[in-house]
Amino acid sequence: MSLFEKFSSIQQARQEILQSGVNPFHLTIEKIISPTEAVINGHTTILVGTNNYLGLTFHPDSIQASQEALAQEGTGTTGSRMANGSFSSHNDLERAIADFYGMPHAIVFSTGYQANLGVLSALAGPGDTILMDGDSHASIYDGCRLGGAEVLRFKHNDVTDLDKKLRRLGDRSRRTLIIVEGIYSMLGDRAPLKEIVDIKQQYEATLVVDEAHSLGVLGNRGRGLAEEAGVEQGVDCIVGTFSKSLGSTGGFGVSSHPEFEFIRYTSRPYIFTASPCPSVVASTKVALRIIRETPQLRQQLWKNAKILYDGLEHIGYTLGAEVGPVIAAMIPSKEQALAMWQGLLEQGIYVNLMIPPATPNGESLLRCSVSAAHTPQQLETIIQSFANVYSQINEHAASVST
C-alpha cells in the first residue's frame, strides 16, 4: 500500500456526504460584509458560526491601528523573535496582556494553536504527566504529545475521575499538569473550575486553563472562567487566542510564575516560527483595550445569547449546554444534520456543522456562535430559519414513517 492509499477511507466518507447533495467541505466566503454578514453562494448570509463573539473584526479603531502598523512596520516580520529579534510592538502587546490579567508574565505566539503547543510542550516533558480533559481541543492533544510527557485523559468535566487518576499517580501527581478549557468549543459547556482548583491544590499539581472561548466573554473584566469562578490565584497558567473575541489571529500564555519567562527558550513553537505580523499585533492590542473599556459589548453578547438560546429551545431543539455564546443544537442523526445545515445555508444562515468523529460522544451538532454584533432582526431571522428546517425535517421523518 502506498502512502497515499491510506486516504481512501477518508475519500469514501467524504463521497458519502457529497452524495447526499451537501458539500460542507469547501464553503467559500465570497465577500465579507461585516462581523455578522457575508456573501456565500451569491447570497447575503448571516454568520452564526465564526466565533466573532464581540464583533470586533471591523472595529474602526482596530482597523486604523492595523493600517498604521502596516504602513510603519511593514507586512511581516520575516523571522522568529529568537533569531531576528522582537519588534517593540510584540513586547508592548505582551505587557498589555500581562496587565489585563494582572499577572507579571505573558508570551505571545503566532496562533492560538501554537500557544497550546508552545506552553504545554514546554511545561510537561519526559518524566512528567499530563492529565487532560477528554473533550479537549486538538491543539491541547498535540501540545501534550509534542512535549513527550505521559498523557492521561479524565472523563469530560468529571472531577471524580480526575481525583481518581491523580490518586493513582501517587507522588508523581506533583509533577503533573492538568489542562482544562474555560468554555468547551463544541457544546459550549464550562469546566467545573472551582472543584478542579481544589483537587489540583490537594495533589500539588499544576493547572493550565485554556480560555480561548471565554476570554472577553466571562468574568467582570472579561478575563474568562477563572475570573468568573474566583479562582485566578489557583490557576498556574492561562492560555488563549486572539482569533475569537479579539478578532485577529495569534495566541498567548500568561502566568504569575517567574520561571514562565523561560518557556521562550525551550518552546519550539515559539522559537522556530515567524513572529506575529505588526498589523495583527496592533489590532489585537486595540481590541484588548476595547474589551477592558467596553463591558457593554459583553452584556450585549449575553443578551443575544439568551435570545437565541430561548428561541431554539422554544422550537424544540435539544441544546448542548446552558446559555452561553456557544449554542449547540443536538441533531438526532448525521443525515438530518447535513440536511438541516444545507437548509439553513439556503435560507441565508451559516452555522457550524459538526459531525462524528470530530464531536464529543459521537453527536451531530449544528453549532452557533453568537456575537454582540448580531442585531435583533438578525437573531429573529436565525430563529425563524431554525424553525423552518426543524419543521421540514420533522415532516419528512413523519412521511417516511407512515
Partner 1 sequence: MTTYAEILPQLLKTLTPYAKKMGQLKESTDLVSELGLDSLQVMQVLLKIEDQFDISIPLNNLPNIRTVKDLGQEIEMLLKA
Q: Give the interface with partner 1 as residue ranges (CB under 8 A).
A: 134, 144-145, 150-153, 155, 161, 165, 168-169, 356-357, 361-362
CB of 145 to partner 1, least distance (A): 8
CB of 337 to partner 1, least distance (A): 16
Closer residue to partner 1, CB minimum distance, 144 or 217: 144
Angle at 64 between CA 61 and CA 69, to 5 degrees: 125
Closer residue to partner 1, CB minimum distance, 39 or 169: 169
Dihedral sign (CA 254, 258, 260, 262)? positive
CB of 116 to partner 1, least distance (A): 16
Closer residue to partner 1, CB minimum distance, 153 or 303: 153
Q: Which amino acid is at 402?
A: T
132: β partners: 153, 179
Residues 6 or more apart from 391 whose CB is under 8 A from it?
none
Angle at 386 between CA 384 and CA 390, to 5 degrees: 115
CB of 217 to partner 1, least distance (A): 29
Q: Which amino acid is at 387?
A: A
DSSP secondary structure letter of residue 267: -
Closer residue to partner 1, CB minimum distance, 141 or 302: 141
CB of 11 to partner 1, least distance (A): 18
CB of 169 to partner 1, least distance (A): 8
Closer residue to partner 1, CB minimum distance, 9 or 296: 9
Residue with cell string 529568537: 82
CB of 150 to partner 1, least distance (A): 5
Closer residue to partner 1, CB minimum distance, 144 or 372: 144
CA 48 vs. chain centroid, Å, equals 14
Query: SS3 of 84, please?
Result: helix
CB of 38 to partner 1, least distance (A): 33
Q: DSSP for 19-81?
A: HTT---SS--EEEEEETTEEEETTEEEEE-SS--TT-GGG-HHHHHHHHHHHHHH-S---S-H
Interstrand relation of 129-133 and 176-181 (parallel, antiparallel or unpaired): parallel
Closer residue to partner 1, CB minimum distance, 88 or 361: 361
197-201 own/partner pairs: CB under 8 Å, 24+ apart: 197/229, 197/231, 197/234, 197/235, 199/159, 199/162, 199/163, 199/166, 200/234, 201/234
Closer residue to partner 1, CB minimum distance, 121 or 243: 121
